[in-house]
Amino acid sequence: MKNRGDRKQRRFVVAGCGSIGKRHIKNLLALSAGEVLAFDVQAERRREVGAALGVETLANADEVWARQPDVLLVAVPTALHMALALAAAERGVHLFIEKPLASGWDGVDRLLGLVRQHEIVSLVGCNLRFHPGLAQVKQLLDARSVGRVIAARVEVGQYLPDWHPWEDYRRSYSARAELGGGIILDAIHEIDYIRWLLGEVTNAVCVAGKLSDLEIDTEDTAALLLRFDNGALGEVHLDYIQRAYSRTCQIIGVEGTIHWDYAAGQVRWYSTDTKGWSSWSNPTGWDANQMYLDEMKHFLACLAGSEKPQLDAAQAAKVLRIALAAKESAREGRWIELGGNVWNPNTML
């Protein structure tokens, strides 16, 4: 196992200098995490990040490994995640991998084996786990504020061309199947956090497809139905279509209901104990970068050994399996079994 040592002595390489890569570079610098280098095969992106952030840039993987990094942050298109992660894991390099873990299952088992063998610290970047609103929802559920959970509805939608208005959406990885795009993998946050809130998924069925006029070759809309090990049902809606950004969660319990609205910055819950609604709002002055900053603080604490990863590679593989099951279900038109207390959808309850 690599010596975790003093964090100020670590060398971080951020692979991928798109919007999320630049965000991570800025946050690592703000946290004085150590030496930070940037890797991107696109010369224009290297020039931009070098000039704007003052970090050394690397043009190819050989240059990356020649610098013997302690930590690799993988922020390249999804289809390229696994090759970089495996190369890092073979060298015993700690890993932060942007969501999702990969675009398919090839290489996942080998990666998990290497992470165990070399005692690599791994974290997969599902930043919504660090959103204060969802943290409040989790706290309410842990306190059984609405009793036993029966069902949950989560959804996210935003018009794809509005994601990065400064670039042509048709060239983005989201729009291109060969780069691992498509709303199911892109919006895997929702699959991750519903599992975080409700537990393991045993069965999944999905309808998905390209339903709009967007010039993409990936699915732009998906509707998932999940069955959980505790018997609860989960509905997950994902799309690249909604012109007004929407991200919400509803938890239905036998003793109340919880609503979270990202855009409103608010959690509301009804309890049979109080016979009324209570509410919670985001802290004053909170902005979206705070959850990325908190996520990176958590990763640094994991590297130091003072915290355990909220979503390591092994747990992220379980989330990926649900997403891949959804894609398989949409292709084949059937329920997919994922294990646990498997539910037979053809049997009356």
Within a domain: residue 296? Answer: no
pLDDT tens-digit profile of 134-152?
Answer: 999 999 999 999 999 999 9
pTM of the predicted structure, to 2 decimals: 0.94
The answer on pLDDT for 6 being more than 60 is: no
pLDDT tens-digit profile of 295-338?
Answer: 999 999 999 999 999 999 999 999 999 999 999 999 999 999 99
Q: Are residues 181 and 140 in the same domain?
A: yes
pLDDT at 189: 98
Domain assignment of residue 276, given as a range: 132-285+313-337
Within a domain: residue 301? Answer: no
Using 50, 70 and 90 to split pLDDT, how confident is the model at 339? confident
Mean model confidence pLDDT for the chain: 94
Q: Are residues 148 and 118 in the same domain?
A: no
The answer on pLDDT for 252 being more than 70 is: yes
Q: Are residues 123 and 145 in the same domain?
A: no
Q: Are residues 25 and 75 in the same domain?
A: yes
Q: Are residues 118 and 214 in the same domain?
A: no
Strand arrangement of the beta sheet that strand 11-15 belongs to: 56-58, 35-39, 11-15, 71-74, 94-98, 122-125
Within a domain: residue 193? Answer: yes
Q: For the chain, what is the domain count?
A: 2
Q: Are residues 107 and 139 in the same domain?
A: no
Within a domain: residue 66? Answer: yes
111 bridge partner residues: none
CA distance 31 to 301: 12
pLDDT tens-digit profile of 14-60?
Answer: 999 999 999 999 999 999 999 999 999 999 999 999 999 999 999 99
Q: Are residues 87 and 22 in the same domain?
A: yes
Using 50, 70 and 90 to split pLDDT, how confident is the model at 4? very low
**CA distances (Å), origin 31, targets 8, 36, 43, 94:** 10, 11, 27, 18
Within a domain: residue 244? Answer: yes
Ordered DSSP codes for 235-276: EEEEES--SS-EEEEEEEETTEEEEEETTTTEEEEEETTTTE
CATH of the domain at 14: 3.40.50.720
Q: What is the CA radius of gyration of the chain?
A: 20
The answer on pLDDT for 340 being more than 80 is: no
Within a domain: residue 95? Answer: yes
**Token pair in block for residue 39:** 């890797």
Listed range (115-129, 245-259, 274-288, 327-341) with the worst mean pLDDT: 327-341
pLDDT at 301: 98
pLDDT at 312: 98
Q: Are residues 85 and 175 in the same domain?
A: no
pLDDT at 330: 97
Q: Are residues 153 and 279 in the same domain?
A: yes
